[in-house]
Amino acid sequence: MSLAPTDIESGAQRFPRSCDARLKLCVALLGWLSVLAAARPAAPLWIAACAWGSLLGLRVPLRRVLRPLGAGLFTALIALGLRVALTQGGPDFNVVVLGHPLALSQPGVAAAALLGARILGAMAIAAWLTATTPWLELERALGWLRLPSALLEILSLARRYVSVLEEGMVTARSAQTLRLGYRGWQRSIASAGVLAGFTLGHAFDQAVVTSQAMQLRGYAGARATPPWPRSSAADGWLAALSLSVLGVSWLLSRSVS
């Protein structure tokens, strides 16, 4: 079976969705290792651009593409701010933030840029993996890597109840908004803390109820393991493209700026 360009155009939804989930998981792991080992921001940004470009080429809705980025944006901004503020040494330059002068070191800005690029690259790889691999296949691939069955069960249950927890969080946030809980910085921070505590407590309660229901139904943790499909030409195309992207990222990371 050959994968010609006409096959890709006529069945755009097949590649790389039709590829082996184990191969896509290994590609994602190599991508994460490349992002973490990058010495310059250009390498993670290149990987992120390729991952986002692949998703857009697959006609994945832009909202779904940007959603993982928005989910980690707040944490990333805090990490970048702390990195800039806590890294000392080297020449400094002054910037004005909200009318207040702030001295920043060039090593701190460089370290923050690398950290931000790594975060962006890691989230882009995760978005590519989850968008191109059905969860059941991804779960089987994780089992193929010999992950503990208890961890796989936790991941599976967490995925199933994400929508339930999200609905409860949205309802609680709407109630807080109606009570002017997000008016002013202090009230907003307090309301965000209450919302986080409510969501965490709701998650624990849901986990207890689910565990009791599974025990009453006699669930013993047995999993069906159907055979994996044979390797196809699409797997070869994905491996070649992935190695090319990772090779370019390695060159960008090792190149002299």
Please calculate the CA angle 242-131-9 and round it to the nearest 5 degrees.
Answer: 70
Amino acid letter at 172?
Answer: A
Q: Kindly state whether residues 122 and 243 are assigned to the same domain.
A: yes
Q: Kindly state whether residues 73 and 172 are assigned to the same domain.
A: no
In a domain, 222, yes or no: no
Q: Kindly state whether residues 127 and 199 are assigned to the same domain.
A: no
Q: Which residues contact 32 (CB under 8 A, 6 or more apart)?
A: 122, 125
- The predicted model scores a pTM of 0.71
Which of the residue ranges 163-172, 211-220, 233-242 would you say has the lowest mean pLDDT?
211-220
Q: Kindly state whether residues 156 and 113 are assigned to the same domain.
A: no
Q: Kindly state whether residues 166 and 213 are assigned to the same domain.
A: yes
Does pLDDT of 31 surpass 90?
yes
In this predicted structure, what is the pLDDT of residue 25?
93
In a domain, 208, yes or no: yes
In a domain, 54, yes or no: yes
Which of the residue ranges 12-16, 130-134, 195-199 would you say has the lowest mean pLDDT?
12-16
Q: Which of 8-22, 41-55, 167-181, 186-200 has the highest mean pLDDT?
A: 41-55
Is 50:246 a contact under the CB 8 Å cutoff?
no
DSSP, res 180: T
In this predicted structure, what is the pLDDT of residue 89?
67
In a domain, 228, yes or no: no
Q: Kindly state whether residues 6 and 116 are assigned to the same domain.
A: yes
Confidence category of residue 65, pLDDT binned at 50, 70, 90? low
Of 197, 167, 193, give the one whose Cα is nearest residue 182.
193
Q: Which residues contact 117 (CB under 8 A, 6 or more apart)?
A: 38, 41, 42, 43, 44, 45, 48
Q: Kindly state whether residues 187 and 111 are assigned to the same domain.
A: no
Q: Phi first, then psi: give them for residue 19, nearest 5 degrees.
A: -75, 165
pLDDT tens for each residue of 7-28: 333 344 567 888 889 999 999 9
pLDDT tens for each residue of 228-238: 778 888 888 99
In a domain, 10, yes or no: yes
Is 31:54 a contact under the CB 8 Å cutoff?
no
The H or E element that residue 100 is part of is strand 100-105
Is 199:168 a contact under the CB 8 Å cutoff?
yes
In this predicted structure, what is the pLDDT of residue 44?
92
pLDDT tens for each residue of 99-115: 666 666 777 777 888 88
Q: Kindly state whether residues 47 and 119 are assigned to the same domain.
A: yes
Report how far residue 65's alpha carbon sits from residue 247's, in angstroms, rounded to the nearest whole number: 24
In a domain, 224, yes or no: no
CB burial of 182-201 (b: ≥16 within 10 Å; e: otherwise) equals: beeeeeeeebeeebeebbee
Of 185, 47, 192, give the one whose Cα is nearest residue 121.
47
In a domain, 142, yes or no: no
Report how far residue 118's alpha carbon sits from residue 34's, in angstroms, rounded to the nearest whole number: 9
In this predicted structure, what is the pLDDT of residue 243?
93
Is 242:27 a contact under the CB 8 Å cutoff?
yes
Question: Rg of the Cα trace of the chain?
Answer: 22
Mean pLDDT of 161-189: 82
Q: Kindly state whether residues 3 and 65 are assigned to the same domain.
A: yes
Range(s) of the domain holding residue 32: 1-133+234-257
Q: Phi first, then psi: give them for residue 37, nearest 5 degrees.
A: -90, -5
The H or E element that residue 25 is part of is helix 21-37
Q: Kindly state whether residues 129 and 163 are assigned to the same domain.
A: no
**Per-residue tokens: 67:** 């959603």
Cα distances (angstroms) measured from residue 158 to each of 33, 178, 203, 216: 25, 29, 9, 20
Q: Kindly state whether residues 118 and 3 are assigned to the same domain.
A: yes
**Per-residue tokens: 119:** 């975060």
Number of domains in the chain: 2
In this predicted structure, what is the pLDDT of residue 248?
92
Query: What's the distance, CA 23 to chain centroid?
Result: 18
In a domain, 140, yes or no: no
Q: Kindly state whether residues 103 and 164 are assigned to the same domain.
A: no
